[in-house]
């Protein structure tokens, strides 16, 4: 709703953002179908963790996708859904993974950034390598979960 596109076939998302890990494989497909267009993938850490082995595929096929991973060390939307039902957090939290460093292990270009300025510089530097790019962005879940909180009953 808040993303403006200027040409057809330039923005893809799962139906209602309801398919976990859709973004990275979709970005790979977009890069294969439109090899002359830059491809940017934004994805959460949980979804990326489910498909990150395909960073190796991107390296092998030379797909210069820029992937920005929003990392809060949890499956936050599932955690919010559990909280809305009054359930305890179960199976939604995990350790601190640096996805930029993990991408480097696959042969991609990776970085962890902590500010918008660092993000812009990392995108520019990474794109200059011609390799797949994975940028890990630690985020504070409190900054966005407040918008997903259950309504207060009074």
What local confidence, expressed as pLDDT, does residue 154 receive?
36
**How far is the first Cα of the chain from the last one, in angstroms, to the nearest whole number?**
30
- Domain assignments of the chain as residue spans, ordered by start: 35-140
Contacts of 122 (CB under 8 A, 6+ apart): 111, 113, 133, 135
Query: DSSP secondary structure string, the chain?
Result: -----SSTTS----GGG-STT-HHHHHHHHHHHSTTS--EEEEEHHHHHHHTTHHHHHHHHT---EEEEEE-SB-HHHHHHHHHTTPPP-S-B-----HHHHHHHHTSEEEE--SHHHHHHHHHHHHTTTS-EEEEEE--HHHHHTTTPPPPP-
CATH of 35-140, one of 3.40.50.970, 3.60.15.10, 3.90.1170.50, 3.40.50.620: 3.40.50.970
| Segment 1-50, tens digit of pLDDT | 566 778 877 777 776 656 788 999 999 999 999 999 999 999 999 999 99
| Mean pLDDT confidence for 55-72 | 97
**Which residue did the predictor score with more confidence, 78 or 54?**
54
What local confidence, expressed as pLDDT, does residue 29 receive?
96
What local confidence, expressed as pLDDT, does residue 17 receive?
59
Give yes or no for residue 69 having a pLDDT over 90.
yes
| Segment 104-136, tens digit of pLDDT | 999 999 999 999 999 999 999 999 999 999 999
What local confidence, expressed as pLDDT, does residue 7 receive?
80
**Which residue did the predictor score with more confidence, 100 or 3?**
100
Rg (CA), the chain: 16
């Amino acid at each position: 709703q808040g993303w403006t596109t200027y040409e057809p076939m330039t923005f893809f998302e799962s139906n209602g953002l309801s398919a976990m890990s859709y973004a990275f494989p979709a970005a790979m497909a977009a890069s294969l179908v439109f090899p002359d267009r830059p491809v940017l993938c934004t994805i959460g850490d949980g979804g990326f963790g489910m498909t990150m082995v395909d960073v190796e595929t991107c390296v092998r096929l030379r797909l210069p996708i820029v992937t920005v991973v929003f990392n809060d060390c949890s499956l936050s939307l599932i955690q919010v859904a559990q909280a809305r039902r009054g359930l305890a957090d179960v199976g939604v939290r995990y350790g601190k993974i640096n996805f930029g460093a993990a991408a480097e292990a696959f042969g991609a270009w990776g970085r962890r950034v902590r500010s918008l300025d660092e993000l812009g510089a990392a995108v520019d530097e990474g794109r200059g390598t011609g390799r797949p790019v994975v940028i890990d962005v630690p985020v504070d879940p409190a900054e966005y979960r407040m918008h997903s909180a259950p309504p207060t009953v009074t």
